[in-house]
Structure 1
Amino acid sequence: MEARKNPEYLRSIAAAVLEFRAALVEFLDLHVRNEGSGGWGGIARGIAPAVFPRDGTDPDEIERRRTKVSRLSGLAGAAVPLTNIAIRVQGVGVIDPIAAWQTITQPKPVLEAPDILGACDQALGRLDGLILEAEAELPPAVGAAAMHSLVWGAAARLWRDGHFREAVAGAAESVVAMVKTRTKRNDLAATALWQEIFSNKEPESGKPRLRWPGDPTHQDVITMNAGLRFLAPGIQMTIRNNAAHSTSELDEQAALERLAALSLLARWVDECDLHEAPNSSTT
């Protein structure tokens, strides 16, 4: 995805600019500005450095803060081409205010501290605008994060760490737990549970069933109920059991396809009606 159209990337650059700006302010706290009056003001601006260390300041602390600003300028500099905050300096040309920040401490500085701080503020404002534009142009959410909330909620942390098989296993367990909670059936192993709740038998006391909504004599409803009767245990045996008991890792695509199956099953379970026997103890 193009950088200017990726909201998460733009947010990371904005955060980097904020960190750089804050570190620069900390660095400037140990300095006085050559502003043309009092103190260092007798030294010609444009020839002498734009800032001087305060009297009595620990040189090691100045160097520590300088190093921090330099390090943070690396990522923050990505904001310059994105936001067009380069500064044109007469007789010098176009200057990157973040990359050139150290010139304020050198003779004949091409920039002054307010130039750099102002450029950071401008970059942050423009990044906010780019983020809004990028979010407005985003296509509908697809992929793992768009799965059923229960499935992705159980898988997300492991998925982001690259543990795809464990993420699938965790998601499968969460779907089973959801069904156990809804039916109050904690007395069965998972595969048997799926077979019981989608059984074509009438509900019994303590044995509710899940049924696709609609007229039970309608062919579409009959088909869905029959399909779920085989699909749910099949997903349990082929996806959950394999993910839970295998020691081999899944690649991302294979894991994504398994999460999609679990997500679809979870959505269909959500849509089903719970049928209970009269005076059932599960009510």
Structure 2
Amino acid sequence: MSNEYSEDYLSRLRDAVERFEAAFEAWMATQVESSHMESRGLFPTVWAKEGQDADAVRRLELDVAEAAGLAARAVAVTGAYIAVAGLGMIDPISNWSFMSAPKAPLAPRDVRMTTANVKGRLDAMIIDSAAGTDSDLPKFAPAQFHQVVWAGAAAHWTTHQYRVAVREAAEGLTIHWKQKLCRNNVDDSVFWQQTLSPGQAEPGKPKLRWPGEDGDKTVRSIRGGLEPLAKALNGLATGLNLTVRNVTTHTRAELSEQEAMERLAAYSYLARILDQCTIDRGDDFEPESEPV
């Protein structure tokens, strides 16, 4: 990972995050600050203090928005997303303005914690980049892995805990789909076997299906290969769970960066295939498509 981004680029990105932090705190000085507990999930977590000049507040908001745009890439590069119920993985820096909305999914603490986390991860990446050696080999950026996979791995990857990074990525992908399908009561391997097996879903046991209308000729053609595709996905998911996740959970031997990268790539590929599927929840539901 250390050589995927130049030291200069990472340093500039960190400067952009610091600029966002300064603009954010200047705007926060004009706001009443609340929390998730205080807002009870119904109200904004920030609102303007009494007596504030509305034009001045708007100018400060625009400063934050501009700085957030400049720093937006930082969360993707470092993988410092946070999980929000109903929204999935989101970037608190880009979405800071959500705090002012009813049922705000973010609080000021989320933005500050993410900003500090991003700066720390960038510092680690800058150190790696400075220590890295040039190579003629093609560069491969783990930050370009599927968002759910990289979000689970990133914090440990930047500290070279590759075994833990793979374990957390595997766990994160499974948890993501178990929550989406409301199947938290089954073991991981059983979950993948049932979810990707051919046949109709049963109420309470949804399946992932290839999308499309039944009467569409192209869809019918694709559906002809659905069962072998499902078997392949089933084998891939179950195999990854057994050969990657369980092995990394039960051993203390550290993986090399290359070994960990190969395992994360397999999970990322699987995650992107799953994103293209629709959810069949059984006879009581129509198949639905849900973006990650």
TM-score by length of 1: 0.49
TM-score, structure 2 normalization? 0.48
